[in-house]
Amino acid sequence: MAGLAAKFGSGAMTNSVAEIAENDALLVIGSNTTENHPIIGLRMKEAVAKGARLIVADPRRIPLVKFATLWLRQKPGTDAVLLNAIMHVILEEGLEDRDFITRRTEAFEEFEASLAPFTAEFGAEATGVPAEDIRKAARIFGSAVNAGIYYAMGITQHSMGTNNVHAVGNLAMLTGNVGKRAAGVNPLRGQNNVQGACDMGCLPNVYPGYQSVAIPGMQQKFEAAWGGTLSGKPGLPATEMTGAMLAGSLKGMYVFGENPALSDPNTSHSLKAFKNLEFLVVQDIFLTETAELADVVLPGSSFAEKNGTFTSSERRIQRVRQAIASPGEARNDLAIIDQIYRSFAAGSVAEYRLPDAAAVFEEAASLWPEIAGVNYQRLDKDSICWPCPAPDHPGTPFLFKAMFSREGGRALFTAVPQVLSDELPDEQYPFVLTTGRELFHYHTGTMTRRSAGLNAVAPEAFVEINPVDADGLGVHSGESLRVTSRRGMIDLKARVSGIVPPQVVFIPFHYREAAANLLTNDAMDPVCRIMEAKVCAVRIEKNMS
Amino acid sequence: MIHLTIDDKSIEVPAGTTVLEAARQLDIDIPTLCYDSRLKPYGACRLCIVEIAGFPKPVTSCTTPAADNMVVRTNSALLHRLRKTTIELLLSDHPNDCMVCVRSGDCTLQELAYLYDVRENRFSGGMRDHNRPDANPFIQRDQNKCVMCGLCVRVCEEVQGVGAIGYSNRGFEAKVCPPFEKDLNCEFCGQCVSVCPTGALSGKMWAGQPRQEGVKLTDSTCTYCGCGCNITLHSHGDRLIRVSSKKTSHNRGWLCVKGRFGYDFVNRGDRLTTPLIRREKGGALEPASWDEAVQFVVTRMAGIKEKHGPDALAGLASARCTNEENYLFQKFFRSVIGTNNIDHCARY
Amino acid sequence: MNSEITVNVCLGTGGIAAGSEMVMEEFRKEFETAGVKNAKFGDRCKIHKVGCRGFCARDVLVDVSVGDKTWTYQYIQPEMVKRIVKDHVLGRQPITEWLVGDDYHTFHDNQKKVILGDLGKIDPESIEEYVAVAGYTAARKALTQMTPAEIIETMKKSGLRGRGGAGFPTGLKWSFCAANESDDRYIICNADEGDPGAFMDRSVVEGNPHAVLEGMIIGAYAIGATHGYVYIRAEYPLAVNRLNMALEQAKEKGFLGKKLFGTSFDFDIKVKLGAGAFVCGEETALIASIEGERGMPRAKPPFPANKGLWGKPTIINNVETLANIPAIINRGAEWFASIGSEKSKGTKVIALTGKIRNTGLIEIPMGTPLKDIIFNIGGGIEGDKLFKAVQTGGPSGGCIPQQHIDLPVDYEGLKSVGSMMGSGGMVVLDETDCMVNISKFFLEFTQAESCGKCVPCRIGTKRLLEILTRITEGNGRKGDIELLQELAEDVRDSSLCGLGMSAPNPVLSTLKYFRHEYEAHINQKKCPAKVCNKLLTFFIREDMCVGCGMCAKACSVAAITGEKKKPHHIDSSLCIKCGSCFDACKFSAVLKE
């Protein structure tokens, strides 16, 4: 999100989901929307049914391709070059929005110059997408009145993820498709409350509401509100915590409702790191792979057992309500944190109580002006998309209508150079592995693999491999393959399919028994500190054991 | 705008509004089985017929666009007779097993039979026998209860874009089925189940669960991806027994397979039900009391902070948990522990 | 056709079924062996295949023209050809005992042939022959001398109404379509003739396909369509074949394709085969079928003229409607309007079948009295039985009793007595037909052909059939007549498409005119026409029985006993009333009552 924040001043979907149906052109890149965001996918299909033109850019023939006007099958890790080439053509053919560029952006000239080498032919060479298709994409996107861009981890989970995000943002700015209805730059959030966790300050460099710990005055503001002395030093991002754990500088961790031991790239590395900790607390509803390593496991509550709010991908704050009681001694998560909070402050075990979620939300709202107008009374009637600065403010379906949140109010063009993935295929590891999700499972499978039905229709891990490659290996669907990278090795069944191009294989990362992240590369984006889960080099062999 | 009169009430509607939509705006109740405001009109159930002055015979209000100066009657002896005959015909080919039907109390056909007081059936005769087992874990098909309203076929095509089902056979033997009558091969979004007006489609997981008595409905938000779909949790005691979604929600009642059917993890037997503590390094996790666990956490974390400073501690918050929990969690780390080592898995 | 000797052989489906291909082959051979071609006439002799001339019951029909005189032979079989060639062609001595009789001429002379005129005269596989009878002159005239608006005006003035059944004014329909703003429009020829026993459209397409194409070209120009479809059932292989041939020929001649007749107008036609669903004759179902969807009707509005194929304004005209158009353009609206009755103009092609002497395809001016059709053209009832009713309009039509025998056959006339024009089927019934059984027969058809979309048609027709079935099987209940009446009305009034709306017509019209037959079935458990076996008692007249034993052999339940050469006896307690003995007896000794 750092990429978008640098360009616009904040990083979230600029537009709401309902507006998708009003797009007349859509670019979906690095998002398998219908499988990973099925209901957002429905809006895309609705737009197509209404006559919108859909461009899908994805190395895999994802289900959305069926609805696409144009499918660009770029090589994994070449998204920015593809976007640059599209923008080159847009400029070449005069399809850019000069008025928007002049009124609402800065640094265009440097940016324009940076695009010079990225001709359609250059793009074709680098990405594998025919030059004519690059031109077609430029014409479709550049000539649309309302064009929206939708992306997900396929853009961000790269060692050059921030660059990719910049390229996406540049395209929207170049064509004047941000700051208006039914357009925008729209990162689709992978989990139900990623947006909320960010909003609430679960980031090492910002307090709630993206208020930087490094800005003078912020520390004082929050000290005044919270009491105690706050640190002015930005903390460690999660991806760097692994290193700190291994180095021994990070000794104790409290993991709440996550399973990093399975979801982190280069899993064996992260398992080692967690084992190296002096003390690990895990609060969860199941004994996850991470919890198994813990010194203390605190049984928490599922979403059906608590009150609170989630904030969806489109910045929509919505109520979560308790329907049932938690099993056994399992407790409300907010109450657990609250008790530890007070016990730690007091130095001894404080009395257990159930805090009022509404009051906690009100406290957060009092510290972040963008949600100052949101409260439970309003949320009980209807959900609200932030910003919503006042009680009578209706909420904001799309951002930056009048100005961007950066200082000066303008969006920033950023030149994006060609950067190669950290690990490219070579003689020893000739295949590119890309990872992702499938429709029937979610994340590390903690919930979905415990759902009898979901597990019945998608019971086991697989590796998608192109028929050409399968022929070369003499392997058929259902036969076992061994996939090896520099970091690990897993055995799993082959699924021979044209969904992946030759020389590329795909593995969903839901399955602990064949954890894709044992293979993936923990190389990081230098700005965002996100790991390169989408591209690494692997070797494939028929499994004889 | 178009002016028309329905049952002596006048109304103004935009061009393109159907007579049915206009009537609903006036809170005039017209029965329907095959209508859904989210789908294209279909005109198959023939229940929404109305009389329009100047039209030679009743027409379906769901397919008739409102026109200027139209005078519409939604109820008359003739309309009542025709609707009742239609309901009676449907019931003449419908298993009379509401007592044990999973959709009892949540069935449009049942409600219509009651409202139109269809008791004995003048038309009893041959009945369909279409059922065949279906191996999927989610969707229960009972085709003998199908009224051929086509909602399932249309939602699968128009909304989901999948087209997993269609029609086969003609006349009385016509039925909804997957191509070549194979097992359902679909995304299992259950949109079809959600629009079915009878017991023809239901969730396999609903079978044997309470229908009304003691069932509590709670509006909430889905816990899976970032779409943030509104859902309604159906619970009985401490069990989640069904998930549905309202048409009026921003997701228009549509859900995916995970949101609609992936809720049973909540009631799984392997849920953590007691705190666990590893009392010594290398030892096993053992059950503990909450007081012991909390004390253990506080002592050990305080010890590390004491010895190595606050930055030797870190918290990983959750992209799955609530705003309030995440807020309190980061506040704990920042204001009590004194470190900004706080992050979550947004990057993954 | 200017040859000295011309032999016309009917190569319509009816003719082929009777063996006309072999007859034709035989003529070829005989002409060779007898040396007709080389020795005697050279190029001046011709064996000529022609389309159906309507009197299929007399097939194989063969015309022999010598000079300008023509003789017509009926019931010709291959082995008869040799003598025709020897005696008539070479010997100039017609074989009088094989020639058609006066009834053949009565059959034809009482008709007026606008559509069928060239059938039976020209070779349907030759565009040259169509052109020779002024073919495509109307299209040329329309495209080069008339504006679309003038054509539509001409159609309106002519009074032409849709021949597919509903009788909607063609010109008006075209004007609706033309009035829509749209980048594209379609014209579709509905050749999905589905009524059992109807073969009007098939015969026209088989016998004169170019007339239909020409009508489409004119229609397309009038409404601004650049693409047309002929939707025709795959069960009409000969018609499909000749249609495709005609399309090829028309394209070669430049009558279809780009810049027709040197104008800027482009138009092309594709053939789309239907799979034989009756409901696909309904225009919205037909459109769905062309689009690749299941052939199920869609609710109207929107009407196809506004939003039809692929959502574009679309005109669907029946084969016969289209075949009228060239004549109207060439001869004028006034000429056409001068034929027929006040509100129904022109002629109507009718498939005349049932208990009538002369069955076949006929064409009459609208408004011709029923009586004239049945007793003049049709030659009266077969076997001198009593006329009971005539069923018109196909399975969706009604039965018209003796009391309306003077009824003028046009849209209004038929409707006024509870029947309809439909596509033009006419089944004559006599005193041996049971009207309850007749309406059951038609319901069997319609309920099986219902698409299943709407409730009244899907379940209602099934229930109507069930009630009729139980009445004919002696299980009719008190109140069944009222129940039939109510259900039939409800199905008629609440069904989605024309199929369901008209399916109850046979029931309603027979209830109206033959209620006593229903009452007899239900109350006295009798079938007055002695058709419904379950209501009859079978017995053997001793004085007629020769004791051959055939009846006993045929009886599947061993209800018949008797010694050889002595009268047999039926045990009515065992008899299941299947009627096998009745059919088996060659001495009319088995009676039913």
**Is B80 contained in some domain?**
no
Residues on chain C touching B81 (C-beta within 8 angstroms): 490
SS3 A320: strand
Q: Determine, for residues A453 and B266 on separate chains, whether the beta-carbon distance falls below 8 Å.
A: no
Q: What is the mean pLDDT of residues A245-253?
A: 95
Q: Determine, for residues B326 and A347 on separate chains, whether the beta-carbon distance falls below 8 Å.
A: no
Q: Determine, for residues B189 and A207 on separate chains, whether the beta-carbon distance falls below 8 Å.
A: no
Share of chain A above pLDDT 70, in %: 99
Residues on chain B touching C487 (C-beta within 8 angstroms): 85, 122-123
Residues on chain B touching A40 (C-beta within 8 angstroms): 227
Please indicate, yes or no, whether residues B92 and B104 belong to a single structural domain of this protein: yes
* Number of structural domains chain B divides into: 5
Beta bridge partners of A524: A531
State how beta strands A70-72 and A53-57 pair: parallel
User: Do residues C355 and C372 make contact, with C-beta atoms less than 8 angstroms apart?
Assistant: no
Q: Which CATH number fits domain C347-430: 3.40.50.2000, 3.10.20.600, 3.40.50.180, 3.20.20.70?
A: 3.10.20.600
**Is B69 part of the contact surface with chain C (CB cutoff 8 Å)?**
no
Please indicate, yes or no, whether residues B199 and B93 belong to a single structural domain of this protein: yes
Of C451, C456, C495, which has the smallest distance from its Cβ to B170's Cβ?
A: C451
Domain boundaries, chain C: 5-101, 134-337, 347-430, 435-523, 537-592
Q: What is the mean pLDDT of residues A31-55?
A: 96
C411 pLDDT band (50/70/90 cuts)?
very high
Residues on chain A touching B205 (C-beta within 8 angstroms): 453
Q: Architecture of C537-592 per CATH?
A: 2-Layer Sandwich (3.30)
Please indicate, yes or no, whether residues B184 and B284 belong to a single structural domain of this protein: no
What chains are in contact with A, requiring at least 3 Cβ pairs below 8 Å? Answer: B
**CA distances (Å), origin C135, targets A157, B22, C140, C318, C466:** 72, 53, 10, 19, 51
Residues on chain C touching B109 (C-beta within 8 angstroms): none
Please indicate, yes or no, whether residues B277 and B263 belong to a single structural domain of this protein: no
Q: Looking at the complex, report in whole angstroms how far the Cα of residue C143 sits from the nearest Cα belonging to chain B.
A: 37
Of B82, B123, B171, which has the smallest distance from its Cβ to C452's Cβ?
A: B171
Q: Determine, for residues A324 and B237 on separate chains, whether the beta-carbon distance falls below 8 Å.
A: yes
Q: Architecture of C134-337 per CATH?
A: 3-Layer(aba) Sandwich (3.40)
Q: Determine, for residues C296 and B167 on separate chains, whether the beta-carbon distance falls below 8 Å.
A: yes
- Chains A and B lie in contact, requiring 3 or more CB pairs less than 8 Å apart: yes
Q: Determine, for residues B172 and C460 on separate chains, whether the beta-carbon distance falls below 8 Å.
A: no
Give 10-residue mean pLDDT values along chain B (348 residues).
96 96 96 96 96 95 96 97 97 94 95 94 92 87 95 96 94 92 90 97 95 95 94 96 96 96 93 95 94 96 95 94 96 95 75
**Is B83 contained in some domain?**
no
Q: What token pair was written down for C71?
A: 């003789």
Residues on chain A touching B138 (C-beta within 8 angstroms): 453, 457
User: Do residues C322 and C115 make contact, with C-beta atoms less than 8 angstroms apart?
Assistant: no
Query: What's the pLDDT tens digit per position in A281-298?
Result: 999 999 998 999 999 999
Share of chain A above pLDDT 90, in %: 76
Q: Determine, for residues B262 and A447 on separate chains, whether the beta-carbon distance falls below 8 Å.
A: yes
Specify the range with the lowest mean pLDDT, choosing from A266-270, A273-277, C39-43: C39-43
- Please state whether C452 falls in left (phi above 0), alpha (psi between -120 and 50) or beta: left
pLDDT of C445 higher than 90: yes
A445 pLDDT band (50/70/90 cuts)?
confident
**Is B98 contained in some domain?**
yes
CB atoms within 10 A of CB B47: 27
Burial C279-299 (b: 16+ CB within 10 A, else e): bbbbbbbbbbbbeeebbbbbb
Q: Determine, for residues B343 and A256 on separate chains, whether the beta-carbon distance falls below 8 Å.
A: no
pLDDT of C38 higher than 80: no
**Is A320 part of the contact surface with chain B (CB cutoff 8 Å)?**
yes
Residues on chain C touching B150 (C-beta within 8 angstroms): 453
CATH number at residue B259: 2.20.25.90
Please indicate, yes or no, whether residues B111 and B195 belong to a single structural domain of this protein: yes
pLDDT of C2 higher than 60: no
Of A254, A314, A440, which has the smallest distance from its Cβ to B315's Cβ?
A: A254
Does ipTM come in above 0.85?
A: yes
Nearest CA in chain C to B33: C455
The domain of B341 spans 310-348
Q: What token pair was written down for C208?
A: 């004169």
Of B218, B265, B324, which has the smallest distance from its Cβ to A321's Cβ?
A: B218
Which of C420, C390, C407, C389 shows the shortest CA–CA distance to C503? C420
Q: Looking at the complex, report in whole angstroms how far the Cα of residue B21 sits from the nearest Cα belonging to chain C.
A: 16
- A contact residues 256-275, partner B, Cβ 8 Å cutoff: 256-258, 260, 263-264
Q: What is the mean pLDDT of residues A128-157?
A: 95
d(CA C190, CA C194): 11
DSSP string over A149-170: EEE-HHHHSSTTHHHHHHHHHH
Please indicate, yes or no, whether residues B122 and B195 belong to a single structural domain of this protein: yes
- Chains C and A lie in contact, requiring 3 or more CB pairs less than 8 Å apart: no
**Is B93 part of the contact surface with chain C (CB cutoff 8 Å)?**
yes
Q: Determine, for residues C299 and B43 on separate chains, whether the beta-carbon distance falls below 8 Å.
A: yes
Domains annotated for chain A, with CATH where assigned, are 2-187 (3.40.228.10), 194-385 (3.40.50.740), 431-542 (2.40.40.20)
DSSP string over A53-82: EEEEE-SS--GGGGG-SEEE-PPTT-HHHH
Average predicted confidence (pLDDT) for chain A? 92
Q: Looking at the complex, report in whole angstroms how far the Cα of residue B90 sits from the nearest Cα belonging to chain C.
A: 7
C267 pLDDT band (50/70/90 cuts)?
very high
Best to test chain B binding among A37, A42, A202 (most B CBs inside 10 Å): A202
The sheet carrying C387-392 orders its strands as C360-365, C347-354, C425-430, C387-392, C398-401
Residues on chain B touching C452 (C-beta within 8 angstroms): 148, 167, 169-175
Share of chain C above pLDDT 70, in %: 98
Please indicate, yes or no, whether residues B117 and B200 belong to a single structural domain of this protein: yes
Q: Determine, for residues B223 and A190 on separate chains, whether the beta-carbon distance falls below 8 Å.
A: no
pLDDT score recorded for residue B348: 45
Please indicate, yes or no, whether residues B190 and B220 belong to a single structural domain of this protein: no
Q: Looking at the complex, report in whole angstroms how far the Cα of residue A95 sits from the nearest Cα belonging to chain B.
A: 32
Query: What's the pLDDT tens digit per position in C298-353?
Result: 988 899 999 999 999 999 999 999 999 999 999 999 999 999 999 999 999 999 99
User: Do residues C207 and C125 make contact, with C-beta atoms less than 8 angstroms apart?
Assistant: no
What chains are in contact with B, requiring at least 3 Cβ pairs below 8 Å? Answer: A, C
d(CA B262, CA C522): 59
pLDDT of A190 higher than 90: no
Q: Looking at the complex, report in whole angstroms how far the Cα of residue A494 sits from the nearest Cα belonging to chain B.
A: 21
pLDDT score recorded for residue B134: 82
Please indicate, yes or no, whether residues B255 and B278 belong to a single structural domain of this protein: no
**Is A312 part of the contact surface with chain B (CB cutoff 8 Å)?**
yes
CATH annotation of C5-101:
3.40.30.10
- A contact residues 95-114, partner B, Cβ 8 Å cutoff: none
pLDDT score recorded for residue C3: 58
Q: Looking at the complex, report in whole angstroms how far the Cα of residue B347 sits from the nearest Cα belonging to chain A.
A: 5
Backbone angles phi, psi at A449, to 5 degrees: -80, -5
Is the domain covering C435-523 a CATH 1.20.1440.230 domain? Answer: yes
What chains are in contact with C, requiring at least 3 Cβ pairs below 8 Å? Answer: B
Q: Determine, for residues B298 and A344 on separate chains, whether the beta-carbon distance falls below 8 Å.
A: yes
